[in-house]
Chain A
Amino acid sequence: MKFRLLPLTLLAVFGLAIAAETNYPLDAPAPDGRRPGGTITQEFTPPKLHDEENKDIRRERNYPEQPPTIPHSIRGYHVDKNANKCLSCHSRANSARAQAPMISITHYTDRDHQTLAAVAPRRYFCTQCHVPQHDVKPLVENRFKNIDELLYRETSPSTSGN
């Protein structure tokens, strides 16, 4: 009876000993460079949430195979086992009524290049590739040059050899 509490006491003492250890790295610097300063245990106020851009103006693609970004808000849209709100406008059958671009033929082919009657399962979850955009300052600088810029640089005499 008397010794019931002994293991508990030992555990508590042991725990305290560990916690008191000063060089235990609880306060290591945060791992990602996007968060200036701060440590893992510190909490920051998150940045403000922005609305999705909803201008319905198609954006330029950076390369021909790029999945186009979504030019409108998709707040509250269901894309799950039961329902796919995107396809209620972008499927073959619905695109005429909605005057929305039809999903491309690639979305009907499975990985063995068999064309199916309906959207291939691997293309079903639209937001795996297509995402809405926010009008915000990018977190990291991007030096991507598209092919036209590269070609121009290759061929234009004033900047060649650069």
Chain B
Amino acid sequence: MKSIKSFFKRYWGVLRRPSVHYSLGALTLGGFIAGIIFWGGFNTALEATNTEAFCISCHEMEDNVYMEIKDTIHYSNRSGVRATCPDCHVPHKWTDKIARKMQASKEVWGTIFGTINTREKFLDKRRELAEHEWARLKANDSLECRNCHDFGFMDFTRQGKRASEFHSTALANGEATCIDCHKGIAHKLPDMRGVPGW
């Protein structure tokens, strides 16, 4: 116990002692540069986990949801604009992004404990996972959808009759948000019994 204390005391002494060899300016600059490097590294690591390739590096993601999105308009369409996993599932704002990443550590546990490591287990758990996503999109007013589909720029005259009717009423007056009406646009749906509107 004592030796540990004295050990820290000695290092604290070193840290407190004014620098002999380097000027304050050089130290500040060094700290600044190191900061940039660490921050950059951190952000790069963050960005690397923000790609579809990363998401489908886990077979749980590749064999189920990724296979299903391939049939949908968000994978292949006439304009060639694609939505990837992070586009819909990871917020753009940095603070939100970090919060989501912390949440996502449960996916690492899920992988280790194999919560959805077979198709059967995945299907059994799907309703629960989908409920999480619906709740998240409901709470943020379908922010991720709106990153690409901006209500302000929707041309109702170019939409189908049903689309323009619903968008100019329930969506325009804030009664409903995208996910209320557009569930299952990217993946197959879980058992929908009891979900409002189904």
Contacts and interface: CB of A to CB of B under 8 A. Distances in A.
26 contacts: A54-B160, A54-B161, A55-B161, A56-B161, A56-B162, A72-B161, A72-B162, A73-B160, A76-B73, A78-B188, A78-B189, A80-B189, A82-B189, A82-B191, A83-B184, A83-B190, A83-B191, A83-B192, A83-B198, A84-B192, A84-B198, A85-B184, A87-B198, A88-B197, A88-B198, A94-B197
B160 A82 contact: no
Contacts of A78: 184, 188-189
Interface string A49-73: 0000011100000000000000011
What secondary structure prevails in chain A residues at the interface with B? Answer: loop
A76 B185 contact: yes
Contacts of A72: 160-162
Q: Which 9 A-B pairs have the closest CB atoms?
A: A56-B161, A83-B189, A83-B192, A54-B160, A82-B191, A88-B198, A82-B189, A78-B189, A78-B184
Interface extent on A, as a size class?
10 to 19
Contacts of B192: 82-84
Nearest to A81: B191
B168 interface: no
Interface of B: 72-73, 160-162, 184-185, 188-192, 197-198
Contacts of B160: 54, 56, 72-73
A88 B192 CA distance: 10
A75 interface: yes
Contacts, number: 39
A84 B197 CA distance: 11
Interface of A: 54-56, 72-73, 75-76, 78, 80-85, 87-88, 94, 97
B191 A75 contact: no
Nearest to B166: A98
B161 A82 contact: no
Given A56-B160, A76-B72, 5 more contacts: A55-B161, A73-B160, A76-B73, A78-B188, A83-B190
A73 B160 CA distance: 9
A77 B189 CA distance: 10
B26 to A, nearest CB: 61
A103 to B, nearest CB: 15
Nearest to A85: B184
A94 to B, nearest CB: 7
Chain B CB within 10 Å, residue with most, of A72, A80, A82:
A82
Given A76-B72, A88-B197, A82 B162 contact: no
A88 B176 CA distance: 15
A86 B177 CA distance: 20
Nearest to A94: B197
A80 B188 contact: yes
A76 B185 CA distance: 7
A97 B165 CA distance: 12
